């Protein structure tokens, strides 16, 4: 059992996940600071409110801090933008570049025209709905 655990811990994807988590946590601090110290004051200078985190309304003696929500929303949008343009787009281009010389293989699966489930390409009947498949 110890050997299996050691193999599990030392697998590449487990270590990669741990590193990604630590880097993501550090990146979160940077983004929170960017939003709080630069972007929010810039928006506030244009819109006239000096600090979003102080915005709230009261309903039945309960305080609703919608300014903190605005800061959180801006943080999310900044993170999503950075991840999309600096991670997703380059990885998609790298994958497309690496697969440019691969030939298309014959499909091993097809869609049943009746129920749209995925079945083996050589099947004569659908395993789900039983409809006879065209040759």
- The per-residue pLDDT for range 74-83, each reduced to its tens digit, is 878 887 887 7
Separation between Cα atoms, residue 124 and residue 133, nearest integer Å: 5
Q: How far is CA 57 from CA 10, 48, 65, in A?
A: 51, 18, 7
35 CB-contact burial (10 Å; exposed 0-12 / middle 13-18 / buried 19+):
buried
pLDDT at 50 over 70: no
- Can you give the residue ranges of every domain in the chain? 2-98, 106-135
In this prediction the pTM is 0.50
E strand or H helix at 64: strand 62-64
Question: Which of 46-50, 95-99, 108-112 shows the lowest per-residue confidence on average (mean pLDDT)?
Answer: 46-50
Question: Around Cβ 119, how many Cβ atoms within 10 Å?
Answer: 19
Q: What pLDDT does 51 receive? A: 65
pLDDT range class, residue 49, cuts 50, 70, 90? low
Q: What class is the 2-98 domain?
A: mainly alpha
């Amino acid at each position: 059992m110890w050997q299996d655990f050691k193999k599990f811990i030392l697998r590449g994807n487990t270590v990669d996940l741990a590193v990604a988590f630590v880097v993501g946590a550090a990146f979160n601090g940077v983004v929170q600071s960017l939003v709080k110290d630069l972007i929010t004051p810039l928006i506030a200078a244009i819109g006239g409110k000096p600090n979003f985190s102080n915005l709230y309304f009261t309903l039945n003696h309960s305080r609703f801090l919608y300014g903190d929500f605005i800061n959180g929303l801006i943080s999310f949008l900044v993170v999503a933008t950075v991840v999309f343009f600096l991670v997703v787009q380059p990885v998609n281009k790298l994958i497309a570049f690496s697969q440019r010389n691969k030939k298309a293989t014959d499909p091993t699966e097809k869609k049943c025209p009746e129920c749209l489930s995925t079945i083996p390409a050589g099947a004569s009947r659908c395993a789900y709905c039983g409809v006879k498949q065209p040759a």
